[in-house]
Structure 1
Amino acid sequence: MPALHPYGGSVRKLVLGIDVGTTYSGIAYAILDPGEVPVIHGVTRFPGQENAAGDSKIPSILYYKPDGSVACAGAEAALPGTDLEVEDNDYRFVEWFKLHLRPEHLDAGEIKRRDLPLLPPGKTVVDVFADFLTYLFRCSKRYICETHANGDSLWSSLEDRIEFVLSHPNGWEGAQQGKMRQAAVMAGLVPQTPVGQARVHFITEGEASLNFCVQSGLTDETMRDGQSVAIVDAGGGTVDISSYSFVSVSPLVVEEATSADCLLQGSTRVNVRAEAHIRKILKESKFGNDDDIKSMLDYFDKATKPVFKDDGESSYIKFGSMGCNDPSVKIRRGQLLLTGAEMLSFFQPSIDAIVTAVVKQREEAAKKFKTVFLVGGFAASPFLYSALRSKLETLGLSLCRPDSHTSKAVANGAVCFFLQRFVAARVMKVTYGVEINAWFKPKDAEHVARIANTFVHPSGHTMVRNGFSPILGKGKSVRETDEVSQPYHVWSDDSRALDRIACDITCYRGPGASPRWTDVDPELFTMLCTVHADTSRVTRKPKQGPKGTYYEQCYDVILLCGLTELQAQIRWIENFINCSGPAKIVYDDDLHAFQ
C-alpha cells in the first residue's frame, strides 16, 4: 500500500470529495497542512441519520415545497412521518435525478429520459443537483465543526480555500462536467470566477474506485510491475468498468489498459424491471393500485432485493395487512411471492451486461488482467456477487469484493486523486476532430462521389465539404503531460472577419478511430465544444485569387486529453511568435436534447 506523500502546498487547505450517486451519496475530506501527511476522513454523521452513526452514505433524495424551495433532503427526507407531512403540504418527491444528466447516447436502448422520475415543475437537473450539493456541503460543514477541536474556527479559516473533487460515471463527458461545475457555483461551493471555478475538479467513478482500492491496500497482492486489474463499480444508476496496468510499483505508476465503459445497469434497473413485472401480474388484481404497488416496491428495494442470493428459492414482498389475500396472483397474508426465476429475470440483464463489458475490456487491453474488484453499493447484493463470480471464474478471472464496498470507495478515492495522482495515462473513448473542407482529389473515388458537394476556394482550388480531420483517435493512450495538435486555416475577403476564431471540436463515437466523412453515419458525430481565440493583432498579407483579394488565418487546434477533464486551446503565430489562447472550453447546452 503506497503511503500518501506530505502535502507540498504552502498554505493550509481543505479538500472535499463528493460522490453524488443515483441512490446514495457520500463525502470524504482531508485537511492539508504544509509538510504533513494528509489523513482521509469520511463524513459519517448526517441529520436524520443519528441512529446509524458511522454510516458514510446518505439517500440521494429531496422533497420540494410548492414554491420550489427544498423542504428536506437526504436521510431527513426518509424519516418516519415524512410521508404524512408531504401529503398535507403537497411536497414533490425527487429521486434518481442524477440520471437526468446522462449523455443521450449512453446506452439509449436501456433507458429513455421519459422513463425517469420527473423533476419538479420549473426545475432543471442543474437546479436539483445544486440544491443537493448545497445540502451535502452543509452536512460537511456541520460534521467538521462538530468533530474537530475548535471546529468552528477551523472551518472559518478554510472555507475560502476548499478544493472540491466531484466524481461522475465513466460515461459522463465535458458537457456533464460543465453542468456539474455550474451546479457547484449555484450551490455556493465556489464563486463564479475563473479562480473559484478552478477549485472544482472531476474524477471518474472508475478511477476513484481504483484510488480507493490502492490506497486501502486491497490491490497489494495484484500490484506487480506489468500486472493489470479491472474495477467494476456497481452503483445505483450506472456500472462503471475500468481496467488498469501497474507500469511501476515503486514509484507507483498506473495507466488505463483500455478505454473505460459505463453501463446503465445499476441497481435501479433491477427495481424498474421488478416494477414492470409486478404491475403486469397485478393488472387485474385489487392490489394493482398505485398505493399498494408503491408499498411493494419500497419493501422490495429495502428488504427483498438486498437479501436475494439464490434463484432456487422464493422471495417475498410484504405490504398491507394480514388480511390481504389473492391466491390467483400469489398474494397471501399480505405477502407477494416471487419465484427464483422471476427474481433472476430482474438481475440477469445487469449481470450479462457486466460480464460482456469485462470480457471486452480484457480482449482490448494490451496487458490482460486476471483479477476483478467489485465495489459500489450494488456490490452489496449477494446474488450479484455470486453470479458474477461464477461466470467470471469460468473465464479464468477471480472476483474480489472488499468489505467496505458499500459506502466510501468513490468519495475517498476522489480525495486521494487530489492528493496523489496514481493514473498517469488514460485511453480515449472517442475520436476528437474537426469538420473540414478537404482539397478535392480527382483520383479519389470518395471525392468524386461527392462532386455535387464541392465549391471553389478563393485560391481557385476545388474543395469538398463534410470532411473530418481527426486530432486524437479513439483507443490512443495519452499521458497527462501530452498534447496533440493539427493545423487548420480559415479565409475571408475581409481581414477583420478573422480577428476572432471559433473552432468547433467534434466527437466521433463510431467503431473506427479515423473516419473521413461526417456525412457517413452522421448520427455518430456530435459537437463537443467550441474553442475561441483572439487573433486581432495578427498582420495578414492579402492574397490574390481568381475572384480577387482574400485573407487567410492559419492556426493549430491543441487538445490536452490526459487529464480527467478535456482541455483545448488554439495556437497561432503573431509577429513570428507562437501565441495561444487560454485552455478554455465552452460546452454546448445540449440538455434539451435529452427530453
Structure 2
Amino acid sequence: MPALQPYSGSVRKLVLGIDVGTTYSGIAYAILDPGEVPIIHGVTRFPGQESAAGDSKIPSILYYNPDGSVACAGAEAALPGMDLEAEDNELVFVEWFKLHLRPERLDAGEIKRRDLPPLPRGKTVVDVFADFLAYLFRCAKRYICETHANGDSLWSSLEDRIEFVLSHPNGWEGAQQGKMRQAAVMAGLVPQTPAGQARVHFITEGEASLNFCIQSGLTNETMRAGQSVMIVDAGGGTVDISSYGFISVSPLAVEEVTSADCILQGSTRINARAEAHLKELLKESAFGNDEDIKSMLDYFDKATKPVFKDEKESSYIKFGSMGCNDPKVKIRRGQLMLTGEDMLSYFQPSLDATVSVIEKQRKNATRTLSTVFLVGGFAASPWLYASLKHRLEDLDLTLCRPDSHTNKAVANGAVCFFLEHFVSARVMKMTYGIKVVVDYDPADPEHLQRAANTYMRQSGRVVVRDAFSSILKKGMRVRETEEVSQPYVQEAHDSRTLDSVVTDIVAYRGPGADPRWMDLTPELFTPLCTVAADTSRVARVTRQGPKGVYYEQHFNVVLLCGLTELQAQISWTEDGIERRGPAKIVYDDDLEASQ
C-alpha cells in the first residue's frame, strides 16, 4: 500500500471529494497542512441518520416545496412519515435525478429520458444537482465543525481555499462536466470566477474506485510491475468498467490498458424491470393501482432485491394488510410471490451486459488481465456477486469483492486523486478531430467523386469539403502531461476576420480510429465542443491571389488530453519563439432540448 506523500503546497487547504450517486451519495475530505502527510476522512454523520452513525452514504433524494424551494434532502427525506407530510403539503419527490444528466447516446436502447422519474416542473437537472450539492456541502461543513477541535475556526480559515473533486460515471464527457461545474457555482461551492471554477476538478468513478483500492491495500496482492486489474464499479445508475496496468510499483505508476466503459445497467434498472413486470402482471387485479404498486416497489427495493441470491427459490413482496388476497396473481395474505424466473428476468440483463463489456476489455487490453474488483452499492447483491464470479471463472478471471462493498470508495478515491495521481496515462475512447478542407486532387478517386463539393479559396487553391482530420485517435494512450496540436491556416480578404478562431472539435464514435470523410457516415460524427481563441496577436502574411490581396495566418490549436478534463490552448510562432494563449472550450447545451 503506497503511503501518501507529505503535502507540498505552501498554504493550508481543504479538499472535498463529493460522489453524487444515482441512489446514494458520499463525501470524503482531507485537511492539507504544508509538510504533513494528509489523512483522508469520510463524512459518517448526516442529519436524519443519527441512528445509523458511521454510515458513509445517504440517499440521493429530495423533496421540493410547491414554490420550488427544497423542503428536505438526503436521509431527512427518507424519515418515517415523510410521505404523509409530502401528501399534506403537496411536496414533490425527486430521485434518480443524476441520470437526467447522462449523454443521450449512452445506452440509448436501454433507457429513454421519458422512462426516468420526472424532474419538478420548472427545474432543470442542473438546478436539482445544485440543490443537492448545496445540501451535501452543508453536511460536510457541519461534520467538520462538530468533529474537529476548534472546528468552527478551522472551517472559517479554510472555506475560501477548498478544492472540490466531483466524481462522475466513465461515460460522462465534457458537456456533463460543464453542467456539474455550473451546478457547483449555483450551489455556492465556488464563485463564478476563473479562479473559483478552477477549484472544481473531475474524476471518473472507475478511476476513483481504483485509487481507493490502491490506498486501502486491496490491490497489494496484484500490485506488481506488469500486473493488471479491472475495476467493476456497480452502482445505482451505471456499471463503470475500467482496466489498469501497474507499470512500476516504486514509485507507483498506473496506466489504462484499454479505454474505460460505462453501461446504464446499475441497480435502478432492476427496479425499472420489476415495475414494468408488476404493472403487466397486475393490470387485471384489484391491486394493480398506482398506490399498491408503489408500496410493492418500495418493499422490493429495500427488502426483496438486496437478499435475492438463488433463482431456485421464490421471493416475496409484502404490502397492504393480511386481508389482501388474489390467488390468480399469487397474492396471499398481503404478500406477492415472485418466482425465481421473475427475479432472474430483472437481474439477468445487467449481468449479461456487464460480462459482455468485461470480455471486450479483456480482448482489447494491451496487458493480460487476471483480477477483477467488484465495488459499488450494487456489488452488495449476493446474486450479482455469485453469478459474476461463476461467469468470470470461465474467462480465467478472479473476482474480488471488498468486505465493505466499498460504498465510500468513490468519494475517498476522489480525494486521493487530488493528492496522488496514480494513473499517469489514459486510453482514448473515441477519435477527436476537426472538419477540414483538403486540396483537390482529380487523380484521387475519393476526391473525384466529390468534385461537386469543391470550391476555390482566396489563394486560388481548389479544396474539397467534408474531410476529417484526426487529432487524437481512438485507442491512443495519452499521458497526463502530453498534448497534441493541429496546425491551422486561415485565409481572408479582410484582415480583421483573422482576429479570432472558432472551431468545432468533433468526436467520431464509429468502429475505426482514423476516418477520412465525414459525409460517408455523418451520424457517427458528433460535435464534442467548440474551441474559441483570440488570434489578434498572431501574425498574418499579405498574399496576392486571383481575386486580389488576401491575408494568411498560421497557428496551432493545442489539446491537453491526458487529464480527466479536456483543456485547450492556442500557439503560434513570433520572432522564432513559440507563444501561447488561452483557448476557451464551450460545450453544446444539448440537455434541455432532449428532455
Question: TM-score normalized by structure 2?
Answer: 0.99
The alignment partner of 1:287 has SS state of coil
Q: Aligned partners of 2:45, 2:541: CA distance in 1, in Å? A: 67
State the partner residue of 1:362. Answer: 362
Secondary structure of 1:485 counterpart:
strand
| Deviations 1:434-457 (CA, angstroms, capped at 9, x unpaired) | 101111111221111111111112
Letter in 1 for 2:316: Y
Residue in 1 that maps onto 2:204: 204
Aligned residue in 2 for 1:93: 93
Distance 2:539 2:566 in 1: 31
**C-alpha distance in 1 between matches for 2:541 and 2:392:** 65
Identity %: 78
Assess, with a 3 A threshold, how the Cα gap between structure 1 residues 27 and 273 changes in structure 2: closer, same or farther: same
Partner of 2:333: 333
- Structure 2: how far apart are the matches of 1:226 and 1:397? 16
Secondary structure of residue in 1 paired with 2:341? helix
Counterpart for residue 128 of structure 2 = 128
- Give the deviation of 1:593 after TM superposition: 4.1
Q: Is the Cα–Cα contact under 8 Å of residues 20 and 60 in structure 1 kept in the other structure?
A: yes
1:577 & 1:422 partners in 2: Cα distance? 34
Q: Which moved more, 1:210-219 or 1:555-564?
A: 555-564
Shift of 1:573: 2.8
Q: Given that residues 18 and 28 in structure 2 are in contact (C-alpha distance below 8 angstroms), is that contact kept between their aligned partners in structure 1?
A: yes
Work out whether 1:473 is the aligned partner of 2:469.
no
**Aligned partner letter, 2:314:** S
**Quick check: 2:300–2:317 contact (8 Å CA) kept in 1?**
yes
Match of 1:189 in 2: 189
Q: Once the 2 structures are TM-superposed, how far is the Cα of residue 319 of structure 1 from its aligned partner?
A: 0.3
The residue that corresponds to 1:54 in the other structure is 54
Following TM superposition, by how much is the alpha carbon of 1:576 offset from its aligned partner in structure 2, in angstroms? 4.1
Q: Distance in 2 between matches of 1:71 and 1:406?
A: 30
SS of residue paired to 1:504: strand
**Structure 1 position 325, deviation (Å):** 0.2
Aligned CA-pair RMSD: 1.0
Q: Which residue of 1 aligns with 2:537?
A: 537
C-alpha distance in structure 2 between counterparts of 1:538 and 1:324, whole Å? 78
1:423-473 CA distance string (max 9 Å, x none)? 000000111111011111112211111111111122222111111000010
Give 1:65 shift: 0.6
Partners of 1:419 and 1:81 in 2: CA distance: 42
**Counterpart residue number, 1:21:** 21
Contact 2:315 2:338 survives alignment (8 Å):
yes
Are 1:62 and 1:73, in contact at CA under 8 Å, matched by a contact in 2?
A: yes
Q: Is the 8 A contact 1:504 1:531 kept in 2?
A: yes
The CA distance in 1 between the partners of 2:541 and 2:509, in whole Å, is: 39
Matched, 1:234 2:256: no
- Tell me which residue corresponds to 2:375: 375
Alpha-carbon distance between aligned partners in 1 of 2:285 and 2:109, rounded to the nearest angstrom: 31
Q: Which amino acid aligns with 1:396?
A: D
Which amino acid counterpart does residue 18 of structure 2 have in structure 1? I
Q: Identify the residue that residue 491 of structure 1 maps to in structure 2.
A: 491
User: Residues of 2 paired with 1:594 and 1:240: CA distance?
Assistant: 24
| Alignment gaps of 5+ in structure 2 | none
The equivalent of 1:454 in structure 2 is 454
d(CA) in 2 for partners of 1:274 and 1:587? Answer: 36
- Give 1:514's aligned residue: 514
Whole-Å separation in 2 of the counterparts to 1:165 and 1:538: 36
Question: How far apart, CA to CA, are the structure 1 residues paired with 2:490 and 2:326?
Answer: 74
1:427 equivalent in alignment to 2:430? no
Structure-2 separation of matches of 1:72 and 1:538? 54
Partner of 1:582: 582
Amino acid in structure 1 at the alignment position of 2:136: L
SS in 2 for 1:111: coil
Q: Secondary structure at the match of 2:407?
A: coil
Aligned AA (2:410): V
1:572: Cα distance to partner?
2.0
Task: Give the corresponding residue for 2:436.
Answer: 436
**How many residues are matched?**
595
Corresponding residue for residue 298 of structure 1: 298
For 2:520 and 2:52, how far apart are their aligned partners in 1?
Answer: 56
Structure 1 residue 540: deviation in Å?
2.4
Identify if the C-alpha distance between structure 1 residues 538 and 412 changes in structure 2 by more than 3 Å, giving closer, same or farther: closer
Partner of 2:119: 119
Which deviates more from structure 2 when the two are superposed, residues 49-58 or residues 488-497?
A: 488-497
Contact residue 104 and residue 593 of structure 1 kept, 8 A:
no
Alignment of 1:65-104 (within 5 A): 65-104=65-104
Tell whether the 8 Å contact from 1:492 to 1:498 is kept in structure 2 after alignment.
Answer: yes
SS of 2:212's equivalent in the other structure is helix
Tell me if the contact between 1:64 and 1:70 (Cα under 8 Å) persists in the aligned partners. Answer: yes
SS in 2 for 1:542: strand
- Listed one character per residue, the Cα deviations across residues 476-515 of structure 1 (whole Å, up to 9, x for unaligned) are 0010111111212121110011111112111111111101
Q: Which moved more, 1:491-500 or 1:529-538?
A: 529-538
How far apart are the structure 1 equivalents of 2:537 and 2:419? 41
CA contact (8 A) 1:380 1:406 kept: no
What is the CA–CA distance in structure 2 between the aligned matches of 1:302 and 1:200, rounded to whole Å?
A: 34
Provide the C-alpha distance between the structure 2 equivalents of 1:91 and 1:369, rounded to a whole number of angstroms: 50
Distance 1:406 1:424 in 2: 24
The 8 Å contact of residues 531 and 570 in structure 1, kept in 2 or not, is answered as no
Paired with 2:338 and 2:430, the residues of 1 have a C-alpha distance of 42
Give the distance between the partners of 1:485 and 1:526, measured in 2 at CA: 20
- Specify the alignment match of 1:149 in structure 2: 149
Question: What is the CA–CA distance in structure 2 between the aligned matches of 1:126 and 1:471, rounded to whole Å?
Answer: 31
1:390 aligns with 390
SS at match of 1:346: helix
Task: Quote the Cα distance in structure 2 between the aligned partners of 1:323 and 1:204.
Answer: 49
Question: Residue 308 of structure 1 aligns with which residue?
Answer: 308
The residue type paired with residue 243 of structure 1 is S
Tell me, in whole angstroms, the C-alpha distance in 2 between the residues paired with 1:100 and 1:406: 25
- Confirm or deny: 8 A CA contact 2:500 2:532 kept in the other structure: yes
Paired residue type of 1:93? F
Which residue of 1 is the match for residue 261 of structure 2? 261
The alpha carbon displacement at 1:585 in A equals 1.5
Moved more, 206-215 or 436-445: 436-445
Q: SS of 2:584's equivalent? A: coil
- After TM superposition, give the deviation of residue 265 of structure 1 in Å: 0.3
- Rounded Cα–Cα distance in structure 1 between residues aligned with 2:593 and 2:477: 31
What residue in structure 1 maps to residue 11 of structure 2? 11
* Deviation string, structure 1 residues 194-252 (Cα, Å, up to 9, x no partner): 11111100000000000000000000000111110000000000000000000001111
Amino acid at match of 1:418: F
Instruction: Look up the match of 1:559.
Output: 559
| 1:235-283 per-position Cα deviation (integer Å, ceiling 9, x unaligned) | 0000000000000011110000100000000000000000000000001
**Aligned equivalents of 1:494, 1:576: Cα separation in 2:** 26
Name the CA distance, whole Å, in 2 between partners of 1:108 and 1:159: 40
Runs of 4 or more consecutive aligned structure 1 residues displaced over 4 Å after TM superposition: none
Match of 1:582, SS? strand
Partner of 1:323: 323
Aligned counterpart, 1:220: 220
- Given that residues 309 and 383 in structure 1 are in contact (C-alpha distance below 8 angstroms), is that contact kept between their aligned partners in structure 2? yes
TM-score (structure 1 length as normaliser): 0.99
- Structure 2 Cα separation of the partners of residues 42 and 466 of structure 1: 51
